[in-house]
Amino acid sequence: MMLGIGSLQAQDQPMRRAEASLDLMRSAFRTDFEAASLDPEASSIDAQAAAFNAALNADFAEYDQLTDLSQEKKSPALAAIYSLLLPGMGELYAGGFSSGKYFLIAEGALWLTYGAFSVQGSNQQDDARTYAVSRAGILPDGRDDQFYVDIGNFLTTEEYNDKQLRDRQPELLYSRAEGEGWTWESDAARAAYKEERLSSERTYNNQKFIVAAIVVNHIASAINAARSAVSHNSALDKALGELYFDATVLGSVHQPHGLLLTVRRGI
């Protein structure tokens, strides 16, 4: 089928839709469609026109691969700041939450783990000190952490004080008169207390590793968010520099008189 081109009109504006209408000579189409309408075994003219349109658009389909992109460019710095505040939020801003959601999930899991260690450590500490009250006769009110370390290392107050005097550290002595005395029932009881106290300290120390992991998660998410913003901007620049086509038959089914070729630049 020969197509004669009557006129071509186009308008091109930066980052906006440009349309070109290609007006084809009416007689070139009329011959084919009238011949089809005379064929008693042919489908209806409507069906043939629809098939013709579908075929035309299929030819241009490969050029119409534009993805759903926001027309705004994203700031990598702002994306990084968002993720430093809350992992995953920078990726959401930059349109890359498919990866950012994992940083957000990790953040929640890390904080839950931190809370679990805090509760466990507190319970272990309380159990150890309650044990010391019942087995060593201590008075817990007003005692600092160093006191609970010392009672785990010596059977009695006197044993502890003797050691400090030998080391010439009289300022570290405890006074039974001031309620600072203790005497363990047995060395096994003292050892059991010490192990429980150390378990509590290990649990609290694990929190430090969780905090470090939280910091790393924030930094990693910030880097990923900045990369997502850069990728978004690159894809947007590429899309805005490409042309996309659609084609539609003009006129009625019985009297087609042209072809509308729509050219889109970018989004």
Answer whether residue 193 shows pLDDT above 90.
Answer: yes
Is there a single domain that holds both residue 37 and residue 115? no
Is there a single domain that holds both residue 10 and residue 41? yes
Is there a single domain that holds both residue 92 and residue 27? no
Q: What is the pLDDT of residue 23?
A: 43
As beta bridge partners, residue 243 has 265
Digit-coded pLDDT (tens) for 118-149: 999 999 999 999 999 999 999 988 899 999 99
Q: Which of 20-29, 42-51, 154-163, 233-242 has the lowest mean pLDDT?
A: 20-29
Is there a single domain that holds both residue 213 and residue 253? no
Which position has the token pair 């309650």? 130
Using CA atoms, how far residue 216 sits from 58, 72, 222, in Å, is 49, 30, 10
Is there a single domain that holds both residue 28 and residue 118? no
Q: How high does pLDDT run on average in the chain?
A: 79
Q: What is the pLDDT of residue 31?
A: 47
Is there a single domain that holds both residue 131 and residue 208? yes
DSSP H helical ranges for 61-94 = 76-85, 89-94
Rounded CA gap, 87 and 224, in Å?
A: 10
* The two structure tokens encoding residue 162: 């003797």
| Count: domains in the chain | 2
* CB under 8 A, 24+ apart: contacts of 111-116: 111/214, 113/210, 114/207, 114/210, 114/211, 114/214
Segment 101-105 shows an average pLDDT of 96
In terms of residue numbers, what domain contains 252? 5-66+242-265
Answer whether residue 101 shows pLDDT above 90.
Answer: yes
Is there a single domain that holds both residue 235 and residue 247? no
Digit-coded pLDDT (tens) for 49-86: 566 566 656 555 544 444 444 468 999 999 999 999 99
Is there a single domain that holds both residue 26 and residue 124? no
Digit-coded pLDDT (tens) for 177-192: 999 999 999 999 999 9
